[in-house]
């Protein structure tokens, strides 16, 4: 059974019990792959957990970059959160419509901005709905709230830092993509990218972190999963994936396992797979 932790993961029971707390803020952070034929905003408009605001991962990003949904500049994050009525002193709970897929990315974004009273809803919106809990289709009334941000540079890595880690082996580089993509056996869904993985990285597919109902596996099972993939969780880690979304699921799992020294490679394979001067491993 999940032990609720308002800084990492909370259950639907916990959220239901705290739903009307005045300082609770709920965010729908649903995001889907372009080929999924799902529209996150339209689904939010049709039904969401009462009081939830919609966090647009593509819009609340650094749109000066050619790479997809890179971490937003501090000023943009602060202004968007203020407009959504999310600020200092709030407990934030984030969910998504896939169960657990994109919500950890927004959990990590808050962490990057120095906010720690932030949790992902275990099992997400599908579990909430399956249990017959309340939903609504109206956006909440929002009042501006001031937010203080202290960006935590240690939680994010760029391509130069990842290339150095790949050579030196001083970090565990952990890739959340499906095994066949990691091994380079299939083409990448984004056109123009090479197949394979960062040399000396390990593979823990994001789907392997989850139970059949979309909840995250226990800490004991997670440790055994990472260990089975050859990951030494006592070492600092860099998490990566296709475009920096599911990498954050690995970061959340590491935090749950008591390893706080982790960072997301924000460019992930969308960046690494694009440049021919960066080495690629297969198999």
| Contact indicator for 33, 177 with CB cutoff of 8 Å | no
Q: What's the CA angle centered on 168, arms 228 and 179, to 5 degrees? A: 35
Q: Cα(8)–Cα(237) distance, rounded to whole angstroms?
A: 17
- For residues 51 and 128, give the distance between their C-alpha atoms in angstroms, rounded to a whole number: 14
From 40, 52, 241, 252, active-site residue: 241
State both tokens at 243: 């475009």
**Phi-psi region at 192: left, alpha or beta (left = phi > 0; alpha = psi -120 to 50):** left
- Active-site residue 5, yes or no? no
Sheet with 91-95: strands ordered across: 9-10, 118-121, 91-95, 24-28, 53-54
Distance CA 149, CA 29 (A): 20
* Pairing mode of beta strands 262-265, 156-157: parallel
Catalytic sites, residue numbers: 241
């Amino acid at each position: 059974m999940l032990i609720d932790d308002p800084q990492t993961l909370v259950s639907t029971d916990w959220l239901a019990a705290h739903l009307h707390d005045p300082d609770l803020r709920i965010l729908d952070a649903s995001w889907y792959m372009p080929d999924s034929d799902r529209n996150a905003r339209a689904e939010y408009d049709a039904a969401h957990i009462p009081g939830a605001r919609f966090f647009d991962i593509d819009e609340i990003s650094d749109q000066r970059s050619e790479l997809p949904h890179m971490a937003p500049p501090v000023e943009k994050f602060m202004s968007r959160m203020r407009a959504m009525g999310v600020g200092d002193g709030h407990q934030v709970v984030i969910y998504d419509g896939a169960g657990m897929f994109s919500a950890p990315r927004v959990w990590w974004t808050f962490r990057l901005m120095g906010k720690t009273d932030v949790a992902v809803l275990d099992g997400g919106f599908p579990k909430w709905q399956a249990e017959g809990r309340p939903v609504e289709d109206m956006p909440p009334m929002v009042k501006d709230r001031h937010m203080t941000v202290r960006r935590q540079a240690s939680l994010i890595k760029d391509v130069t830092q990842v290339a150095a880690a790949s050579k030196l082996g001083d970090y565990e580089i952990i890739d959340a993509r499906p095994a066949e993509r990691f091994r380079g056996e299939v083409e990448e869904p984004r056109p123009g990218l090479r197949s394979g993985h960062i040399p000396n990285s390990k593979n823990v597919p994001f789907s392997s972190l989850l139970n059949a109902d979309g909840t995250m596996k226990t800490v004991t099972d997670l440790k055994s999963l990472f260990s089975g993939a050859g990951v030494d969780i006592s070492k600092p880690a860099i998490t990566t994936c296709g475009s920096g979304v599911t990498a954050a699921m690995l970061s959340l799992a590491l935090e749950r396992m008591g390893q706080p020294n982790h960072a997301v490679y924000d460019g992930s394979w969308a960046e690494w797979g694009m440049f021919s001067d960066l080495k690629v491993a297969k198999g």
